Chain A
Amino acid sequence: MEIKYFMMSFRYNKKNPSDFDLQKSSQEDIYVYQQDNSLWKPIQLYDLGWGKENGYYRLPMLTFQQLFNLLVISDNQENKYGAAAVIMDNYNDELFETCIKLFSKNINLTKYINVFKILQLDLPLNRSSILNKNYSEIEADYKRWNGLTEKVKSIISSK
């Protein structure tokens, strides 16, 4: 059975720690998963269309590469959407580089279509930070993300 790294609600059907089988620990904001005594922390997770969902992640938080791998290989929806949410919130530059590397390899990318869709890379959005950047820098960021979106769309339509 796959290890749980994320637990999340669906349309707010879970809210309290006990809904996730979690119990308060002696440390503030850290909870114990009663089935394996692992430690978990609250986090707002993937927006399925109604706003960010209630959730928890297993401590320690996975690295970007681990999160990306989890998103690609996991069969568990909470792991998949949880990993995607953290990537979309914190690792957009790393995500961009990873996608560019993937595109440069001579491999069949159709197995990544679902991953691209969960990450919403088929939408032309500037995901880079705009803080302390001038107009031309922001425009350049948008263009490179748009280029990535065009590539993703062509992969999706080639299936």
Chain B
Amino acid sequence: MFAGSFTASCGQVFAGMGYFGSLVSTGGIGAGARMIADNVSNAFNSQAHVFWSGGETAMNAAKNFANRIGGKTLEMTRLGSYLEKINAGSDLWRAASANFANQSSGVVYSIQNSIGVRLQSVWATVEYGILKANPKIENFIYRVIWG
């Protein structure tokens, strides 16, 4: 039982290694190390992942919601906090988003602004496709906020 769980957890950590290269090449070893730490922690203590799209209002609502349900947004991970601290560029955030989606399991939440989701949003172009192909996802729950 433990061996099986350990193997599955290692598999989950290394499933994210595909994003490691793009993170390290643009964000340095600091970003890569935090990504691995997040993935290891996620493998053994999985919290619901909360995604957001549609501006600062959606970002703040997602953070509040994640705090309420004991989940986390990308910005609440070690990697996310680090990227905020270094003012990381789009490519790094996109790679981090891809890893965050890839590391999700069970129920995931998506907080979206009522103005709609733009075709070129990170949710539409990066996160949704990975989550949809992720066999560990059991359900998506969408929440629409006004603002």
Contact = CB atoms under 8 A, between A and B. Distances in A.
Chain B interface size band reads 20 to 34
A52 B57 CA distance: 10
A123 B118 CA distance: 12
Contact of B93 (A11, A15, A54, A125): A11
Interface stretch (B8-16, B42-50, B120-128, B136-144): B120-128
A43 B5 CA distance: 51
A54 B56 contact: yes
A38 to B, nearest CB: 24
Interface string A41-62: 0000001111110100000000
A50 B84 contact: no
Contacts of A123: 119-120
B121 A47 contact: yes
Interface string A5-39: 00000111101000000000000000000000000
Contacts, number: 42
Contact of A12 (B56, B118, B125): B56
Given A11-B93, A123-B120, A49 B125 contact: yes
A120 interface: yes
Contact of A13 (B58, B84, B94, B119): B84
Nearest to B122: A49
B27 interface: no
Interface SS majority for chain A? loop
B93 A51 contact: no
A134 B81 CA distance: 49
Contacts of B84: 11, 13
A50 B53 contact: yes
B119 A51 contact: no
Contact of A49 (B56, B58, B120): B120
Interface in A112-136: 120, 123, 125
Interface of B: 52-56, 58-59, 84, 87, 89-90, 93-94, 113, 118-122, 125
Interface of A: 10-13, 15, 47-52, 54, 120, 123, 125
Given A15-B56, A51-B59, A51-B113, 19 more contacts: A10-B89, A11-B84, A13-B84, A13-B87, A48-B90, A49-B94, A49-B121, A49-B125, A50-B53, A50-B54, A50-B55, A50-B122, A51-B53, A51-B55, A51-B121, A52-B55, A54-B56, A123-B120, A125-B119
